[in-house]
Each structure stands twice: as C-alpha cells, then as structure tokens.
Structure 1
Amino acid sequence: MEHQRPNPDHLLERIQHTSQQAQRGRLKVFFGAAAGVGKTYAMLQAAQQRHAEGVEVLVGYIETHGRAETDALLVGLPQLPALQVEYRGTTLREFDLDAALERKPSLILVDELAHSNPPNSRHAKRWQDIDELLHAGIDVYTTVNVQHLASLNDLVAQVTGVIVRETVPDAVLESADEVELIDLPPDELLGRLNEGKIYIASQAAQAARNFFRKGNLIALRELALRRTADRVDAQMQRYRSDHAIPTTWPTRERLLVGVGPSPLSERLVRATRRMATDLRAEWIVAYVETPKQLRLSEADRDRVTATLRLAESLGAQIVTLGGINPGDEIVRYARQRNVSKIVVGKPAKPRWRELLFGSIVDQLIRQSGEIDVYVISGEHDDTHNTQTKPSQQPKPATINYVKSIGIIGLCTIVAQAIFPHLELSNLIMLYLLGVTWVAARYGRGPAICASLLSVAAFDFFFVQPYLTFAVSDVQYLLTFLVMLVVALTISTLTVQIQAQAETARQRERRTAALYAMTREFASIRGLDNLLQTAVQHISSVFEGQAAILLPNAKGQVRAVVGHQAAFINDQRELITAQWVYDHQQKAGMHSDTLPSAQAMYLPLVATRGIVGVLALQPEQPRRLLDPSHGHLLETFANQTTVAIERAHLAEEAQAASVQIETERMRNSLLSSVSHDLRTPLAAISGAASTLLDQNNQFDQQVQHELIQMIADEGERLNRLLSNLLDMTRLEAGAVQVHKEWQALEEVIGTALARLSPQIDQRPISIDVPKQAFVAFDSVLIEQVLVNLLENSLKYTPSSSPIEIRAIQQVAMIEVQIADHGPGIPASALETIFEKFFRLQTNRSASSGVGLGLTICRGIIEAHGGTIWAENRPTGGTIFAFTLPIDGQPPQIHEE
C-alpha cells in the first residue's frame, strides 16, 4: 500500500481538533430505524459491561416502557432521580441536568436524544442538555431513531405520512464519537409489536395501522442503513486523508464526470446520471476552470453554464476546479473524493492535434491507476445538432499582429546597430526579449507570429548569405529550430502565467469583497445600517441594483433597503418576491420559477426560518449564469442572512434585558412602596382606631400625641407619593423648568422652614455670599434642598451640625450640604443617585424608597448642572450641586 507524507496544514487541523475533543466527553449514539428495535436494551447492555469494568456509570434518564427484559438490565446500575415538572396539570418525569452535573459520573445514560424539554427549562431540547454534559467532560450514551434527523424530516413525512415534530440537528449525529446501528428486520419488529413488547395493546393496534406499516419500516430501515453507511464512508475518507493514502479504496461507487464547453457535455451529464441511477451511486460533475476560459466566446460560456445547471437539476454535486491541465486536476480531485469511476467524453479533436498537443482522455487513462475510466459519447439528444461545431476562438485584433510585427522590426533595427560588436547568440536574446514582450502584451496569436518572424528575420539579416533565406552552414538549422522552440515556449508560458494571474485576481477580488462585507458586518450595529451595507456591497460586486425585502407583521415583504431601485416598485416584482418568501425558493431571472421577472430573488433562510428576500438586477444578466458568480451571490446572501439573524437576536436580547430590568425595577418598586406605604398607613390606622374607641378614655396629652402621629405619618405618606409622582414626571419628560433670577439665600431659608419640625435644635450653619443671584426654578431647587437636608437629618446623629455653603464661581455657583455623620461607603458613591438605591444602615428602618436623590439628580440635570457626593476627610458626607449662571443677574439697589 502506498503512503505519502500527510498534508501539514491538514495534520495540524486534525491535531487541534483532537486536542479540543480530548477535553470533551465522548458521545455514543445507539441508532435505529424505529421504536422497538432494541436501542435502549443495547445501551443498557453496553453500560452493564462498562460497569463491570469498573467505570462509574449513572443512569440519568431511561424509558423502559414497562418492558421486563429492559427493566432487568437496570439492576445494579445507580439511577439519578427524575425531575418532577408540573405542566398543564400533569406531572412529567424529566432528566435532571443540574443533578447530573453535580454528581459528574464518568459515564451517564440519557435516553431519547430528540426529546423536547418542558417550557422554562434551561434548554429547549435534550440534545442540548447532552451537549452541556459533554462540555463538562462526561461521557454519554444516548438513543435516537432515524426519523428524528432534521434533514430527513420531510422525507419521512412523505414516506410515512407522519410529520415528526421532535428533531435533532444532523451535526449532533455527525459529531458523535461512535454510532452503533441497532437493526431489526421489519417482520421481527412487527412481531414484537403484536406481542405487546413495544406498546400496549390499544396503542399497538393504532401504530400498526399508521406508522408501523411494513412498507414504512422497510423505508426507514433503508434510511438508517444508508445514513450509517455514509458515516462509515466519511470515517474512511478521513482515515485516507490523515494517512495521505493516494490510492482509491472502492468501498462504494462514486462517479465523476468532466464537462467543458463542448455541445456534447449535456449528453455526457445525462448518460452519467443514468449510470449513477443504475449503480445507485453518488455522482459529481467537475468543470476545470483553466486560463483558456478567459478567452472563451460568450456562446461557450453559456454552454458551460447550461451544462452545470442541468447537472445540478439532475441531482449532481457540482464542483469547479482550477488549474492548467484538466486531466491532472480531475485525477487529483477523484483521488481526494475516493471516486471509483471517471466518465469522460470521446475526443473530438483531429488525431494530429492529439499526437501533437496530447489528449485529456489519454491523460486520464494513464494517470487514473486503479480508477476506472469510461469513455462514452452519450445517447442521441434531439435538442442539439450533432454536427454543431465548437465555436471558434475570438480572433485577436489585427492591430495586435501589426504591433508584434513592428516590435520584431524594432528588434531587427537594434540588432543591425549592435551586430558588428556582439556575437549572434546575443542577438538571439534580443529577439527572445521582443517575443516575451509581445506575449505579455498582446496574447498567444501575436506571440506565435512574433516567434516565426524573429526566426525569419534572424536568418535573413544575420546569417550568411545575408538578405536571403538560404543557409550556408547546416548547423544554423539547429539554431533556428531551438530559437523557434524557445520563442514558442516562452510566449506560451507567458500567456498562461498572465491568464493564471488574471484568474487569481478575479478570485482575490471576490474573496476580498466578501471579506470586506463580513468585516463591516462585525462592526456595524443596527439592522438598518447592516442592510444598507449589504446592499452597497452586493450592488458593487455584481454591478447592478440590489434590494433587501423584509416581512411586515402580516408576512408581506416590502423593500426596506434599496427601495430606490426602480424594478422593486413594480407590483409584479413584489409578487415574485412574496412567492420567494412564502415558498423559501429562488425565483425570478435565470430560474425555473417566474423567469420573466426583471431581477433574481433569493430567500434569506436562517436557522429559525426565513428572514427576508434579496433582490438583484445586474447590469449584465448573463453574468449570473456563470456558476462562480451564482455561488458567490449565494455566499453573499448567506452572510447577509447570518448578519440579519444576529441583529434580530441582538434586538431580542436587548428587549429581554430591558424586560428583565423593568421587572427588577417593578419588583423593587413594589417591595419598597408596599413596605413604605404600609408603615405610615398602619400607624395612621392604629392611631385613628384608638381615638375612635369609646372604651378608651385618654387625657388631652395622649390624644394630642395620637393626632400628631396621624399628622406626621400623613406627611410622610405625602412625601413618599410626591417622590413617586416626581420621578414619574421626570422620566416622562413632563417637568418644565421655569428659570427666574432669584436669591439663593431665600430658597435655602424656605427649605429650612419646611423642615423646621425635623431640625428641632440641630445646629445649622449657612455660608452664602450676599447677592448670590442665580436663574433657576425656585420650586424645583427648593425640592432638591429639602431632599438633601432631609437625607442628612435622617442619617446623622441628632446633635451633629449641618453646614450649608455656596461658592460663587465665574460661570456657575456650587452649593454644598455637609454633615458629620458616618459617611458613605466608597463603592456606593457612584450608585447612590440610582433609583431605589438605599444604604443598609442601622437607621434603614426610617429610610424611604430610594428616590429622593434620584429626583435631585433629575432636577439639577434639567437645569444644566451636575450633582455628586463625596466623603469628608474628617468624617461625614458632602452633597454638592452646581447651577450655571447664564447672562447678567439684575442689579439690586440697597436702601
């Protein structure tokens, strides 16, 4: 067996993947065609064997359906208690994920991979629970039936007539470390059903009439076997790649057919389709994109595009390869894909051209080795004339030939000037330089012409006898031959390199355009900006008008971005876009549905469903027939879909965050308000009921104290409700600031007067400059002073002084209220002005709902000032705010 050195990049990728997998648990899936084939039984048998080997096994969740033989296998295995969940009046047994993570066994058994968890669970699906277990490093055994695979959902519904609601992404099964197929013939499975080993009698009869029909079971069994075979084939392919095995292992039939611009390519595709159907084999259609493609005529390009579209419609896998030699590329790709048969058309070139330039068929036969090569012509097809000749290559412009002749003439003139001083070999180099120049600038035809002219000119002017084509020395014939061959080789290689460079530049431009769009997507925020970016890039790359249509609340698509494109305003175009949105299929220009539309419409299908429609009207519609352009457009559409879905998820996350914050605030408000409302109401109610009780005879002093309590608590309740209403008005923007020039000292005095019962004998010092006039709303600023003073009175000792200062500055005045209390923790200085924030102190029983300072901040900011709090070095807190001084205050004349 031939082995070669593995690809270093691929080997590094495999090592990284293995390193990542080493940190995860291993997943083993017991895979079956239907319920009752013995998946759970086989899983428990394997678990018992692992348990006997000393592995810590835990039964996380098992559905035995009352089968005695299955229950017997649970003996000796520790089981995790099921989680009891109430749902619509029913108690459900569910898998307890948190308990499993807490116990963290080496191996856990979790039945029914496709099960849907009840609402409000951490994950919507059980396979997501299992993924979390794997991330925690826990090995998992699980079971699943073939009908639960997401990719087979529609096929199962078509075969059985039953739509399976619980599905598992195919990637879950593909990423499993081991898949064990549990197979049972349909007759045996029906026998188990009749014996009551799958369902109880009443359910078994209904199942036999519906899902468990023999034809359904045969089809499901085939699907399960094929899916398992595909997985084994993928493992074999990975092994061949890891060990760099170049030879083909024909474990299954896989056909590859090479196509080109020949009119017979469509026949070749149809013939290969029939072969693949007879062999029930996968088939691939390959087109090698060589530098010659740049010189193909429009008709040839259209023919290639039509052939590839035909192959795609017939179910083939389409691949476009890049290279110089089609035969080498086809063989290389065939070995990479483990192709067993290569199909190629009979050569149509004349025999002399095959002998001179070689044949692709001959290359494939010689290089294919163990791969079979089928050379066919295909059956007759009336849609094409068999005598149709391949289109002629477009002839280069005559001016290019004239320029090539002129360059050789210029080389001859230069050579005549230096001929007496240099050897003939140096003159040959001069002519080769001219040939290279012509090849680089004017193409293959003028280069060949220049090669022939250079040999002729060298013979005519510089080989004796001069000015004649006769040759006196026979050795010059070899010189002419080598010169011609070298000139032709240089010109051919130069043209090929230029063509390859142009092809590489085209691919680089496509890749760069896609990268530029995705890079902008990563930095853009907002759906509108994202859509605008997508439309700009798509319009620029495909040289046309693009638009993105999104659905409204009624499911009707409308142009959100790109509505300036004239075609999208046509009602017929909107109907086409709506059809694409409703059916999630491509339509419009160059499609099989509504091809008369002015634009091509692609559905933007995300993981959670379709999110919109992309419309494109290119200036050159025929460019979309090129498979590379079509695939590139689909890639742009996919990237746009992902970006739109990401924007939707971000909006949903933002809405959820706002909702959570709103809920938190609501709970805080209800908690705070309910307590702070209940306390004064309870005091008022108690005092009032005591006064109304006729059996209690109180003296005048007690009655006065009870009445005073009612008044104080009523005032407290009034302040609480006022704060709530003020906060609501501030947030709603309903507070209007009416500024007037006023003396700051008067507002301070009014605020102190309102708080005189609370101040009592508290020392208050005031230091305010005379004639400190500021434009402000006296009612609002008075409320600020009251709130700040009340806060200082509430949180400081009753005998400690309070200082009120005002500092006059150039454009503002700063007001400070300082106390000598315990101060504020440094961590709370930034958050003390937030809503519902309250310090937890031994005086918190008398605290409010945490809105007073928030209201102060809102009022000061409405005046254009700032407010803050800081601790004094000697102890205590300073609350300070600034008010801007706009304009000149009025002049006050003292008498």
Structure 2
Amino acid sequence: MTDSGRADALLADLPRAGRGRLKVFLGAAPGVGKTYAMLQAAHTQVRQGLAVLVGVVETHGRAETQALLNGLAQQPLLRSEYRGVQLEEMDLDGLLQACPGLVLVDELAHSNAPGSRHAKRWQDVQELLAAGIDVYTTVNVQHLESLNDQVRGITGVQVRETLPDWIVQEAYELLLIDLPPRELLERLREGKVYVPEQARAAIDAFFTQTNLNALRELAMQTAAVYVDDELDKGYRQLGQAAPALRGRLLVGVDGDIHAERLVRHASRVAERRHLPWSLVHVDNGTVRDEQSRLRLQSAQQLAERLGGEVVLLRAGEVAKTLIQHAAERRASLLLVGQSRPGWRRRLFGGGLAVRLLRDAHGLEINVLDQEPTPEVKPGRGERSWVWFDYGLALLATVLASALAWGVSSVLALPNISLVFLAAVLLVAVRSSPGPSLACAALSFLAYDFLFIPPNFSFSIQREEDVLTLLFFLLMAALTGKLAARQRRQLQALRETQQETTELLDLSRKLTAATDRQAVINAASQHLSAWKELSVCLLNRDSSGNWSTETGGPLQFSETERAAADWAWAHDQSAGMGTGTLPAGRWWWWPLSVDGGPLGLLGVRAREGQTLSGQRRRLLMALSQPLAQALARARLAQDLEAARLHGETEQLRSALLASVSHDLRTPLTSMRGSIDTLLALGEAVPLEDRRELLEGTRDEAERLDRYIQNLLDMTRLGHGALKLARDWVSPADIAGSALNRLRAVLAPLQVQVDVPAQLPLLHVHAALIEQALVNVLENAARFSPPHGQLQLSAGTAAGELWFAVSDQGPGIPEQERSKIFDMFYTAARGDRGGHGTGLGLAICQGMVGAHGGRISVGEGIAGQGTCITFHLPLREQPEPYREESEHEG
C-alpha cells in the first residue's frame, strides 16, 4: 500500500472539522433494549463530565426505561395540532441553541409532524451533527431503505418509515443490541414492550418466532458489513495491502414498476460484497409515458440516497451498451430485472437478460425475478391515443390500397408494393412500432387480396407470389421498425438538444454580463420564457433580510421563508419536493460557489401546471453557470473596490503631502506680518500697517480655503472613499466654483462658456467642484495681471469635459506627464515657485474616483496651459430625458 493510501485511511478515521459524531444503537425489532442501552451509555458520559441533553426518548410506558431518564436533562418537546390531534416533536432549534456536548435522539427513522422543518428525524440529526454536536440514536433494521422489500417479504408488512443506509454506514460507532427471539417474545407477553392488548396483536401480526429470527439475521448482516468496513480500514491504516480492485456492480434499470425493488436489491448485494455500484439507464429513444418517467426518476433518487452513482447513457442497443459500459468501468457484476414476457421476445431471441448472457464474456450476470403484479390497465386518455394510432394504421392501409388500385394500370405489379411500403413508413414515423407492424400486416393482406392473382381472394396460385409476399411482409416490418426507432431517437435527440441549447443560450448571455445586475437581468430574461413556472431570485441584504432581485415583489408565508432560510444556511435544496419543509409551494435551490451561496433560486409551478423532473434537472444544470457568473461579478466588484481603495490611498497621501508643503506658505507670511506689527508697533506708518493687515487677511482667506478643502476631504468617510453621487448640472458646478473664487479672479478677464443644456453628471458634486476650484486658483495665480482665463465645458465621445485655460508661462511638453506626481515641481511654469494649493495630484484623485481622467494641453492662443477634466456620462434619468425631448 502507498503512503498516500495509508494517509487517506488515517484521515478518514478522523472526524470532519466542526462536525459531531454519531453512535447508532441497532436492533432487530422493538423491545430488544436499544433505548435502555443508549440511556445507560448516556449516564456513563454524564459521570465523565459531558453535558448531555435528551432530545427525544420514547419510553412506551416501560418503567425501567423511564427510571433511566432520571438524572438526565431534557429539552422540552414542541407541541402542535394536526387534524385535531396533539403531536409532540423534538425541538431542533432549542437543541441547537443549547449546544450540549451530546444529544439523545430515539427512533431515527421517525417521520416528523407536518409543518416541521424536516420531513424525517434523521435529517434533524444531520443538522445537529453539522453544528458539532454528538448524537446517540436508535434504529431498527427493518427501517433501512435497502431492506424494505425484504422485510415486506418476510413479515408481510410494508414499512413506511425508512432512512438511507449511508447514515448507518457513516456512523462513528455502531452497536448491535441483540436479544434472542424467545426472550423478546417473553418480554412481550409480560407487557414489557407494549400494553397487553397491543402485545397480543403484535405477536399475531409481526412478532413471530420466524419473523424475529429473519430480522435478527438482517441486523447481524448489517452489523457485520459495518465491522468488515472498520476492519478493512484498520488494515489500510497499518499500511498493509488491500485488494487492488474489487470490481463494480452495475444495475440496469428501466422505468417499470420493479425499478425501486431492483435498486434496493442492488444496494444490498453491493453492501455484502463491498462493491461500489452504479445505476445505469440506457435511453434508446423509446417513448415513455409520464408514469414510467416518474418511476425512473424515483429509482434514480433512491439510488442516490443509498449511496449509488447514477449514470444515463443514450444508445440504440441496450445490451451492447451495458456490456460496453461495464468494460469501461471494469465492473464485475451486472444486475438486471427479468424482462416482461411477450411473443416478440420469444420470437426474436429473448429479452435483455438472454442477450447479456449470450454476448457478455467474463462478466457475472444476475437476473432478479419479478414479483407477480396485477396488470395495470391504461387510462382513458392513454387508451384513446393507442386506438388513434391503430386507426391511423388502418386509414393509411385503405388510402394506400386506393392509390395502388388507381395506378395499377400504369405500374407493374412489383412496383405497386412500394405504395404500401410508403404507408408503413408514414405510420411508423407518426406513431410507434405496434401500429407500424399492424399497418405492415394489413398492407400484406390488402396487397394479396387486391393484386396477387387470383384477385379478390387470399389464395395464391403461383409459388413465386408466395415468396414475393413474404419478402414484402419482411421488408414492411423491418422498415416500419427502423422508422419507429429513428423517430424515438430523434425525439431523444431533440430533448438533449433542448437542454444543450438552454445551457448554451444562458452561458452566452451570462458571458456578456459584467456586473451582478446584468447577470440577474440575463437570468431573468432566460427563465421568463418558461411560461409554466414562476421563477424568482433572492439575496440577503446586510441586515440579513431577504430582497427580491428578480421575479417581482413576492409575498412569502412563514413556511416559505423558513425553507428559504434553511436552504441558504445549509447550502442545500429545500421546500416543495424535498425532505425539508416540503409543505410550501416553492422549491429553493442555492446558487453556491466555494465561498458559500451568492443567491437563492426559487421555482413554483403556476396554477394547473407541475414542476416536472426534467425541468428540475435542467434548473439544477443551469444553476451552475449562473452561480459562476455571480461569482465572477462579485470578483469584478471586489477588484473595482480594490482599485478605488488604491486611488483613495493615493489621494490621502497626496493630501498629507500637500498639507505639510502648502500650508506653510500662508502661515509664514501671516507670522511675519504679525511679528512686524508687534515689534515696531506705532513706528510703522499707517499705510504700511494697513498693507500688512490686508496681506494677513488675504493669507488667512487663502488658509481658510485650504482648511475647507481638508474638511471636504475628511467628510468622505474613514478607510475608503465613499462617493455620495447625485445628478447635478455642469453649469451649477461651474457657477459655484466661480462664486467661491470671486476675489481671486477679480483682477483677471474671465470668460465662461458652459451651456445650460449640457447633460447631467452623476457625481459627488463637492469633489468635482473642489477639483475645479483648485485648477482655477492655480491658473489665476500664474496668470499675468489683467490676463485672460477661460472656463468652458462640452461633450464628446460619451464624456463631459471642463477645460480651464490661462495665459501663464505654461508647462514644458516633456514635463506634462509628470505634473500629477506628488512633490514634483517644474523648474518653471505652473508648478514652479509658489506651490499648487492642494496639488494636481489631489485633483487627479478626485476625478479618478469618478472613473474620469485629466489631460494637459496648450493654453489660450498657444500660450499658457489648458487643464481638462474628462468625466464619463451615464444614461440620463427619465424625467430629464423626457424634458430634453420636449425641449428639442
């Protein structure tokens, strides 16, 4: 054995992280002492200091069992009323909230009361285990799903409450509680199992010596399989070689009434032989009714519950396909059911089992005999369709006979048969093999009666005409059967093509979606074509409440909301058609990736419609690309947030640098003026004092603008740049910026060209205004006295631009790409000498946070500098569009 195999065996023995351990007390029948043994084991754990809580224990009035409950903490049961009957069930939520170390749960196969979260108690246990809580539980062997048919054959009783075998096989411990049948019957007579009236009825109906011996053997076999698995695991942990290949069991299943029985038998055979197993269905294009499809779907779901693999193959020859698949999977055993008897199978070489035995080499073939079942008569609708097909065969024969009689004077006798062959092909294409063979037989008789001498008689005079008729019948039957088979295969191909087209169409739409809303819109557009279903997509907001992203405003009952909550929390389907909260009308399927669910898909059949198994499987297939698209959209959103965060950090760094660099100038000037006034006092002439005070005031105003800029930046939040976007007119932004700089711009000739009809911007108005103020102030500082300064705006290529042009010294072309770098100062020009306010780096951060950019060019008449903001335009709001169209 390899080291990796030994490591896998050691890891398999360890409990999964955060998951509790399950210990099962298995018995052959009620009364053997399972609950008693479980309570004794619980007291042992209590003495060792473990917190033990009784979830539910059924004492059935047994005094010794009731005595063992003393000293154990019990979770109160939930009480509900159903059809006038008071029912008590285990309080699952209370146990999860209490979160003890160990919970006792009796009768694992119990069916919960209608309206409970889960249909079965074993599903409650799975949720407790998932929460990290250990569970002790009891179960009788007759409740195992794979033994359901055997138990019915032994006892004559159909056990309704069952549970999947894998729950018992995956238990951390399994303890067989055994009691000889004679002692059990004695306890039953003494009233230690049931009250005397019930005990007497139980002995007569179920608790017989023979039944108990048979059930005892089944319990021992189940325990033996568990022990064998543990033994095999132990050898592998020691590093000793295990059988390299044990083979595989394949069970071929059709949609007949024995499908589930065959699956259960396959599960038991695979369990006894320690073989992995698969359910294989070969779709040869046969047209199936709704009952057959439902039986096949139930068998496939049963196989999944019992731990089998479900395989669907499409081919024309069933036996050959099964043998080929067995060779590919290296299967050693193939199990099939006995074919239904029929004259065609007896005539053409037997059924599936006979062909497998004849063609398979080195493969063990097991055939499960059928149980006698009453013949199911077709319903009125099915019977009408059958008679319609056979009526079509008769009509086609009559029309072909009339046509052949009409052309008999022109065509030779051998060519007339082609008319009848065409009728057979027409019937075969339009119906099934039965009517096509009937049409072939009728055409054979009509051809003989009308055209083979002597006419209007079934007698044949010439020997060569006998051979001609036989060949005609053979060719008609073969062509009819081949045409019917092609029709069935075409129908199967159309169904497969429909599924593939659905997947391809949705994938193509999702590929073009760049954000979550686009993904939701694409999915809604695709699923809205299914007129028989109502589909919605839910998501949780930051407060944990449900929000409907598509499907319209929906009102959910408490049951629907609980099912949706459970499906989201446990990443499993819930609601209608499942074992969890099935009372509602919606089926919930989480759209999940590795990080958890990204959305919740809800499906409900409209009035008078049903959610078919094919639609359910298709939805499950479509959910995978939809979940991946949602994950891709979330990743794109995270990348955009990371980019925005990076620009924010760059903006903050530039802000701090500008604070330390640019605020020093006005402070130094103010301090110098104040020191001069304090030192010289009255010695300073009045005019000079006035000039010093005015300079101090100007520098204070300049400092006030700097501080106002800092306050505007700090209001944007902590840790990330949050843009409070709103629709605003570009003319309003320009007017507000010019109003704030009235004193600074007073000595200049300012020209403004900002049309009022420009589209609205969806921006943080204070940020864009501040960036514009910074550039205008920078341009004013370096403009000559009485120079020109232009502010203009317009649109181009889906962008709106603001341009500020001056007549200053300008910026050398080779340095224009560097002026947005922090602390960069040109030797001359706009960045030289006196600083730059908050700096063009901050302006770039403000505009970049909106997805825009800044460019630098020549100023007025080729002199000075022109700095242009480019901001992206979004689709205008509805009222603004209507107003613009009206004005136009």
Matched letter for residue 866 of structure 2: F
The whole-number CA distance in structure 2 between the counterparts of 1:749 and 1:702 is 25
Q: Aligned pair 1:498/2:487, yes or no?
A: yes
Aligned ranges 1:811-830 → 2 under 5 Å: 817-825=806-814, 828=817
The whole-number CA distance in structure 2 between the counterparts of 1:299 and 1:542 is 23
Q: 1:439 aligns with which of 406, 422, 428?
A: 428
The whole-number CA distance in structure 1 between the counterparts of 2:794 and 2:338 is 96
Q: 1:847 aligns with which of 814, 826, 835?
A: 835
Aligned counterpart, 1:343: 335
The structural deviation recorded for 1:341 is: 1.2
Whether contact under 8 Å (1:300, 1:391) holds in the other structure is no
Q: 1:595 to 1:351 in 2, by over 3 A?
A: same
Q: CA RMSD in A?
A: 5.6
The structural deviation recorded for 1:748 is: 13
Residues 661-695 of structure 1 show CA distances to partners (whole Å, capped at 9, x for unaligned) of: 2222122212212321234334544665577579x
Secondary structure, in 3 states, of the residue corresponding to 1:569? coil
Aligned counterpart, 2:564: 577
Whether contact under 8 Å (2:754, 2:792) holds in the other structure is no
Q: Aligned pair 1:465/2:449, yes or no?
A: no
The structural deviation recorded for 1:515 is: 1.7
Aligned ranges 1:553-564 → 2 under 5 Å: 553-564=542-553
Q: 1:578 to 1:386 in 2, by over 3 A?
A: farther
The structural deviation recorded for 1:850 is: 4.5
Q: 1:643 aligns with which of 621, 625, 629?
A: 629
Secondary structure, in 3 states, of the residue corresponding to 2:324? helix
Residues 774-803 of structure 1 show CA distances to partners (whole Å, capped at 9, x for unaligned) of: 999xxxxx999997786467669xxx8985
The whole-number CA distance in structure 1 between the counterparts of 2:235 and 2:708 is 71
Residues 580-620 of structure 1 show CA distances to partners (whole Å, capped at 9, x for unaligned) of: 22333322222222333212222333211233332211249
The whole-number CA distance in structure 2 between the counterparts of 1:685 and 1:451 is 116
The whole-number CA distance in structure 2 between the counterparts of 1:485 and 1:619 is 49
Q: 2:251 aligns with which of 243, 257, 265?
A: 257
Aligned counterpart, 1:423: 412
Aligned counterpart, 2:233: 222
Matched letter for residue 32 of structure 1: A
Aligned counterpart, 2:305: 313
The whole-number CA distance in structure 2 between the counterparts of 1:810 and 1:346 is 83
Q: 2:603 aligns with which of 594, 616, 626?
A: 616
Aligned residues: 625
The whole-number CA distance in structure 2 between the counterparts of 1:488 and 1:408 is 14
Aligned ranges 1:515-530 → 2 under 5 Å: 515-530=504-519
Whether contact under 8 Å (2:778, 2:837) holds in the other structure is no
Aligned ranges 1:199-348 → 2 under 5 Å: 222=233, 225=236, 251-292=245-286, 294=287, 296-348=288-340
Q: 1:275 to 1:468 in 2, by over 3 A?
A: same
Matched letter for residue 432 of structure 1: L
Q: 1:308 to 1:623 in 2, by over 3 A?
A: farther
Q: Which has the higher contact order (CA 8 A, sep 6+)?
A: 2
Aligned counterpart, 1:354: 346
Matched letter for residue 573 of structure 2: K
Residues 516-556 of structure 1 show CA distances to partners (whole Å, capped at 9, x for unaligned) of: 11221222244344234324434534831112222233434
Whether contact under 8 Å (2:810, 2:858) holds in the other structure is no
Aligned counterpart, 1:668: 654
Aligned counterpart, 1:68: none
Secondary structure, in 3 states, of the residue corresponding to 1:409? helix
Whether contact under 8 Å (2:454, 2:461) holds in the other structure is yes
Secondary structure, in 3 states, of the residue corresponding to 1:540? coil
Aligned counterpart, 1:510: 499
The whole-number CA distance in structure 2 between the counterparts of 1:801 and 1:689 is 30
Q: 1:365 to 1:560 in 2, by over 3 A?
A: same
The whole-number CA distance in structure 2 between the counterparts of 1:556 and 1:599 is 18
The whole-number CA distance in structure 1 between the counterparts of 2:639 and 2:240 is 41
Aligned counterpart, 2:522: 533
Whether contact under 8 Å (1:436, 1:491) holds in the other structure is yes
Residues 337-380 of structure 1 show CA distances to partners (whole Å, capped at 9, x for unaligned) of: 121211112334247733425321122223322222222338xx
Matched letter for residue 520 of structure 2: L
Aligned counterpart, 1:363: 355
Aligned counterpart, 2:439: 450
Aligned counterpart, 1:482: 471
Whether contact under 8 Å (2:677, 2:684) holds in the other structure is no
Aligned counterpart, 1:101: none
Whether contact under 8 Å (1:821, 1:875) holds in the other structure is no
The whole-number CA distance in structure 1 between the counterparts of 2:313 and 2:403 is 45
The structural deviation recorded for 1:711 is: 6.1
Q: 1:551 to 1:416 in 2, by over 3 A?
A: same
Q: 1:573 to 1:726 in 2, by over 3 A?
A: closer
Aligned counterpart, 1:22: none
Whether contact under 8 Å (1:803, 1:818) holds in the other structure is yes
Q: 1:589 aligns with which of 576, 582, 594?
A: 576
Q: 1:593 to 1:298 in 2, by over 3 A?
A: same
Q: 1:562 to 1:327 in 2, by over 3 A?
A: same
Residues 192-245 of structure 1 show CA distances to partners (whole Å, capped at 9, x for unaligned) of: xxxxxxxxxxxxxxxxxxxxxxx9xx9799399599999x99xxxxxxxxxxxx
Matched letter for residue 650 of structure 1: A
The structural deviation recorded for 1:827 is: 5.4
Return the TM-score normalized by structure 2.
0.59
5+ residue gaps, structure 2: 12-128, 137-225, 717-722, 758-768, 796-801, 848-852, 870-888
Residues 490-521 of structure 1 show CA distances to partners (whole Å, capped at 9, x for unaligned) of: 11111111111111111111111122112212
The structural deviation recorded for 1:420 is: 3.1
The whole-number CA distance in structure 1 between the counterparts of 2:528 and 2:846 is 48
The whole-number CA distance in structure 2 between the counterparts of 1:786 and 1:387 is 91
Aligned counterpart, 1:413: 402
The structural deviation recorded for 1:855 is: 8.2
Return the TM-score normalized by structure 1.
0.58
Whether contact under 8 Å (1:680, 1:716) holds in the other structure is yes
Secondary structure, in 3 states, of the residue corresponding to 2:339? coil
The structural deviation recorded for 1:297 is: 3.0
Whether contact under 8 Å (2:651, 2:842) holds in the other structure is no
The structural deviation recorded for 1:264 is: 2.4
Whether contact under 8 Å (2:9, 2:233) holds in the other structure is no
Aligned counterpart, 1:150: none
Q: 1:720 aligns with which of 691, 706, 711?
A: 706
Secondary structure, in 3 states, of the residue corresponding to 1:575? helix
Q: 1:804 aligns with which of 780, 788, 803?
A: 788
The structural deviation recorded for 1:475 is: 1.2
Whether contact under 8 Å (1:835, 1:854) holds in the other structure is no
The structural deviation recorded for 1:327 is: 1.3
The structural deviation recorded for 1:805 is: 8.1
The whole-number CA distance in structure 2 between the counterparts of 1:444 and 1:880 is 82
The whole-number CA distance in structure 2 between the counterparts of 1:281 and 1:856 is 68
